[in-house]
Amino acid sequence: MLQVVYFYPKDDTTGCTIEACRFRDDFEKFRVTGAEILGISDDSSESHDRFASKYKLPFTLLSDKGGHVRKLYGVKKTFGVIPGRMTFVIDREGIVRHVFSSQSSPARHIEEALAALLNL
């Protein structure tokens, strides 16, 4: 299965809400490509449940307390403090085919991921 794995700083903050809602709004476009979307932050599962329910997010949010998965993917903190915002497109063989990193352009993550999926 194709995957879009995106790391984001914090549930229910301005940039993260923009990003999550854009993934939601374009969800059908991702589904057509056969891609699964996974959002990851260090927020708790309860926080993710509230965030997903509030914005009717149709994809999975995973809790990465302690940032272990974030470290495995090499997602660094911005200014050494704010958890980074990075998106990975992973092909059916588990190979990372595209990486996009931008803390200040959350909506571009969706555009980048869709373009990468359409080029696979």
Predicted local distance difference test score (pLDDT) of residue 81: 87
CA-based radius of gyration for the chain: 13
Q: Which CATH number belongs to the domain containing residue 83 in this structure?
A: 3.40.30.10
Q: What is the tally of structural domains in the chain?
A: 1
Q: What is the pTM of this model?
A: 0.95
pLDDT class for 19, splitting at 50, 70, 90? very high
Backbone angles phi, psi at 102, to 5 degrees: -165, 115
16, 86, 89, 114: the catalytic one is 16
Predicted local distance difference test score (pLDDT) of residue 80: 82
Alpha carbons 36 and 27: distance in angstroms, whole number: 9
Element (H, E) at 20: helix 14-25
Asked if 16 is an active-site residue, the reply is: yes
* 3-class state of residue 79 by DSSP: coil
Alpha carbons 82 and 115: distance in angstroms, whole number: 27
| Chain segment 64-109, per-residue pLDDT in tens | 999 999 999 999 998 888 899 999 999 999 999 999 999 999 999 9
State which residues form the domain around 87. Answer: 2-118
